[in-house]
Amino acid sequence: MRSVCMYFQVHQPYRLRTYRFFDIGADHHYYDDYQNRYLIRRIAEKCYLPANNLLLDLINKHNRKFKVSFSISGVALQQFIEYAPEVITSFQKLAATGNVEFLAETYAHSLVALKSKTEFIRQIKMQVDLINELFGQKPTAFRNTELVYSDEIGEMVNELGFKVMLAEGAKHILGWKSPNFLYNNSYQPNLKVLLRNFRLSDDIAFRFSEQSWSEWPLTAEKYVDWINAVDPKQPVVNLFMDYETFGEHQWKETGIFDFLNDLPGKAFTNSDIIFRTPSELSDLLESVGSIHVPFPASWADEERDLTAWLGNELQDEAFDTLYNLTQKVRQVQDPSIKRDWLFLQSSDHFYYMCTKWFSDGEVHKYFNPYNTPYEAFINYMNVLSDFSIRVDNWLAENPDSPEETIGKAYVNIANSIKKEAKSVENELKKKMAGKINDFNNLLEMSDKELKKVIKDIDADQIAAAIKDLGEEVEERFKKLASPKNRARLEELKNDAVDFTKKKVTEGRKAIFEQWKSFSK
Amino acid sequence: MKVLMFGWEFPPHITGGLGTACYGLTRGLAKHNTDVIFVVPKAFGDEDTSKIRLVNASDIEIDTRESIYHDLWKRIEYMEIGSNIIPYISPEEFENRQVIEELEHRKDEKSVLGRKYEFSGKYGTNLFEEVARYALVASAVAASRDYDLIHAHDWLTYPAGIAAKKVSGKPLVVHIHATEFDRSGERVNQQVYDIEREGMMEADKVIAVSNLTRNICIERYGIPAEKIVTVHNAVEPTGKEELQAGRAVKEKIVTFLGRITYQKGPEYFVEAARKVLDRDPNVRFVMAGQGDLLNKMIKRVAKLHMSSKFHFTGFLRGEEVDRMLAMTDVFVMPSVSEPFGIVPLEAMRSNVPVVISKQSGVSEILKYALKVDFWDVNAMADAIYSLLNYKALPEMFKKYGKEEVDNLKWENAAEQVKAVYDSLFK
């Protein structure tokens, strides 16, 4: 008996609008709403809705023996809710059959597993909650963005209580081993690992409509024969692919829906194939051993590594700049900042910056809004600059948020100094506008201001100006005067020098003039 | 294989990219076993003739009593020079030259048909006269030499190329380094246009320096597409030591370097500068060059209140250009129409990241450069700002840009030209 595990990836990022550097600090909307709506609606009509309907029919037609699994990113679900709610309804119908398993992944379809465990866990929880809310399932199987897997990532996933994780059956991981067995994580044997059979998966996902391919046209019958040709001792064939394969990457006209329609029927009549989901398989099969993946591997390109998203100078700078904000963003309570933090993490943004395919970028041009990786980088960095300013501003404006950091304390001090300087200035202006002839107004100035005003005034003039204003005023002026003036004031007082009315007026006038020149 | 090649200038006596390109091409062809007889209107004697045989048209005697010359002469009527046809030259240089030319021009018109004719080999007032005479000489050279095909560079030499073809019956290749539309915008000189078109029509194959230029030949001159092959220019390694110019200012420097004429798009550079300065005051802009739009640019810069951050250097030459590039952080070429555009390559070779317009031939071959539409001032400003502020980008361009330029070898371009030659004999 041979198990076949079909899992489809559903993900669409929030694509960014053209965001110029002069938008930084001025405009905080980052997304190309029109384009996102258009793409979601288009893919919904060409792929998600017809493919879901077909799967629902197949499940019902084959007496619920046909099973599939989905991983739908949080940002994709969010866009369905926003732009195509009927897609959600359609997935709910599938969920209701009981034959569809929904997997957990990171909400933002991010590569955060490589950067922050806390944030990784947070995003998975968000995603699990959303799946539970929409489809009434609490995922027990996990798949990471782009099937990125390493021993360490597996260990984290195990800690979160998942029993099985999906990964790429890359040659450089497996060596002579076959992807058609169940394995386990090399640190935590409790976590089972299912590996993608990339040849059979890509026969559908990439080669199906390739007329130069020697096997074209591919029929369900032929395909089932290939599955049956796998060594009988190997218990499972994992077919993992993007859901957009059906109707979008491979257009309806290529016959891809007919192929899918025929597949379960042929599987049931010509062989003893059973369709199963990842969690079922992890309960059913025994692990044949642990799989060692010291460096993260993915399902992309020939290299099956991370170089589609990370590695060139642009990607690394953008990625590091983004995740350097992790600590700060954690303190922010603002919902729009929280939301953008997630949307900006989608791996697609880094994928667009890849320079590997300068020559043949056909596969990667798909849905790519940028002509060159540089444009992708520039646009993303502009957005990130604005985002970073918003985070800093929020933290400055909300000094009481729980985790006080040294960085934030600095920001606060700097800002309070700025604020104080501003208020001095304003007050001075306000007073200028008022009755400047009343000398008593002068006395309302703060010490700081007054000190500044009388700094360059002759001590005799000061002494004259404050004649008859009382001990308190005298003391204050003495305190604020320059050391030299202070001595002279002391002297005049000791000598009990009297001032004529004229001298008093002149002294006050001098201080007034000085005050005026400062407030200009 | 032996090629009879007609050019208008040859290093070191050059006013622009044409002579340099011809020099690079002939050296590249030598590596592919192709000998070149290079005919210039005036040879000065200090040209590098290690790889080619240089023929000085001024030395060629022709017997004007022979009827063939009279027939030709009827076809190439005496032409007065227009004002707008100067290809690679600054207006001030042009004015200086005009004075000299006027003195020389007192020669009798008949001298064109004399036994010998002293070419100036410049782009002066009697340019058309020289072009015509050059064609006569070409036929004399064509009749007396042994070669397999004829190759003519730019319109000045097309009459010569056509004449040589008529005399010898050998196939003709014309090479388009620039069209009249690149030099004059929409106000084309009809005479020049006609010569260009005739050259392309008479030619067996046309080589264009970019797809951009190729398309102009197809769309504006009605030349059949299958007749035109694009061969991108290359650059000769300079062998110069890298200049470490000490910079006098602490701000970063963004540079425009080229003729300040409509075709080079200086106004877009000015507008982009304002946008960048609004956000980042820590930048200075430099516009190096001369041209009829210079005064307009100075006024515009003043109007935008950035004269203290925007500097005009006037015409730079030789080492001054190298020094300018050495202190530049971002080089911008916002050309409205640029058949190829060699300066960004020189900038990249000096480790300077570049922003170039999509309307330039060189943008077709560069990967490590930011490309924007010349009119998209926002995108241009954004590109400049990014290169100044997001360090990964200039670092990447410096790392790979020099290598990319070093790989644009004349040897490879010449191989493609050789393939064009070979196609004529199949």
In B, which residues are within 8 Å of A381 by CB distance? 386, 389-390
The residue-averaged pLDDT of A51-74 equals 95
Q: What pLDDT does A488 receive?
A: 85
d(CA B417, CA A232): 60
Which residues of A carry out catalysis? 146
Minimal CA separation from A22 to chain B, in Å: 7
What is the CATH architecture of B2-234+409-423?
Answer: 3-Layer(aba) Sandwich (3.40)
Residue environment code for A242-252, b if the CB has 16+ CB neighbours within 10 A, otherwise e: bbbbbbbbbee
d(CA A77, CA A188): 31
Side by side, the strands of the sheet bearing B354-357 are: B310-314, B283-288, B252-257, B330-333, B354-357, B370-372
User: ω before B12 within 30° of 0 (cis)?
Assistant: yes
Do residues B19 and B165 lie in contact, with contact meaning Cβ atoms separated by under 8 Å? Answer: no
Which one, of B339, B413, B14, lies nearest residue B176 by Cα? B339
Which one, of A128, A134, A137, A62, lies nearest residue A98 by Cα? A137
Q: Do B386 and A382 touch (CB under 8 A)?
A: yes
Report the residue of chain B nearest A19, measured CA to CA: B382
Q: Do A374 and B370 touch (CB under 8 A)?
A: yes
- A176 lies within 8 A of chain B by CB: no
| Same fold across A2-8+32-291 and A431-519 | no
- A378 lies within 8 A of chain B by CB: yes
> Which of B367, B370, B385 minimises the CB distance to A21?
B385
Q: Do B393 and A358 touch (CB under 8 A)?
A: no
Domain boundaries, chain A: 2-8+32-291, 313-397, 431-519
Minimal CA separation from B390 to chain A, in Å: 7
| Most A-contacting residue of B382, B397, B400, B404 (CB-CB within 10 A), to test interface | B382
Q: Do A374 and B395 touch (CB under 8 A)?
A: no
Report the residue of chain A nearest B400, measured CA to CA: A313
d(CA A301, CA A147): 12
> Which of B379, B385, B392 minimises the CB distance to A313?
B392
> Which of B278, B371, B390 minimises the CB distance to A22?
B278
Do residues B154 and B41 lie in contact, with contact meaning Cβ atoms separated by under 8 Å? Answer: no
| Most A-contacting residue of B371, B385, B391, B407 (CB-CB within 10 A), to test interface | B385
Q: Do B386 and A377 touch (CB under 8 A)?
A: yes
Q: Do B393 and A318 touch (CB under 8 A)?
A: no
Which one, of A488, A506, A493, lies nearest residue A439 by Cα? A506
ipTM of the complex as predicted: 0.73
Q: Do B392 and A318 touch (CB under 8 A)?
A: yes
Q: Do B396 and A21 touch (CB under 8 A)?
A: no
Q: Which two tokens stand for residue A76?
A: 């994709």
Domain boundaries, chain B: 2-234+409-423, 252-406
Report the residue of chain B nearest A357, measured CA to CA: B367
How far are the Cα atoms of A435, A443, A447 from residue A509, in angstroms, in the given order? Answer: 14, 14, 19
Q: What pLDDT does A459 receive?
A: 85
| Same fold across B2-234+409-423 and B252-406 | yes
Per-position pLDDT tens, chain B of length 426: 999 999 887 777 766 678 888 888 988 998 898 988 888 887 777 788 777 778 887 777 766 555 555 555 444 433 333 333 344 443 444 444 443 444 344 343 445 555 666 676 666 656 777 787 788 888 888 888 899 999 999 998 999 999 999 889 999 999 999 998 888 777 888 888 999 999 999 999 999 999 999 999 999 999 999 999 999 999 877 666 566 666 777 899 999 998 898 889 999 999 999 999 999 999 999 999 988 899 999 999 999 999 889 999 988 877 888 889 999 999 999 999 899 998 899 899 989 999 999 999 999 999 999 999 999 999 999 999 999 999 999 999 998 998 899 899 999 999 999 999 999 998
- A360 lies within 8 A of chain B by CB: no
Q: Do A381 and B399 touch (CB under 8 A)?
A: no
Helix, coil or strand: residue B258: coil
Q: What pLDDT does A261 receive?
A: 96
Confirm or reject CATH 3.20.110.20 for domain A2-8+32-291, answering yes or no.
yes
Report the residue of chain A nearest B368, measured CA to CA: A374
| CATH code for residues B252-406 | 3.40.50.2000
User: ω before A217 within 30° of 0 (cis)?
Assistant: yes
Q: Report the top-level CATH class of A431-519.
A: mainly alpha
Query: Does residue A241 come out as left (phi exceeding 0), alpha (psi in the -120 to 50 range) or beta?
Result: beta
Q: How many beta-carbon contacts under 8 Å exist across A and B?
A: 51
The amino acid that residue A415 corresponds to is N
In B, which residues are within 8 Å of A20 by CB distance? 378-379, 381-382
The amino acid that residue B108 corresponds to is D
Report the residue of chain B nearest A381, measured CA to CA: B390
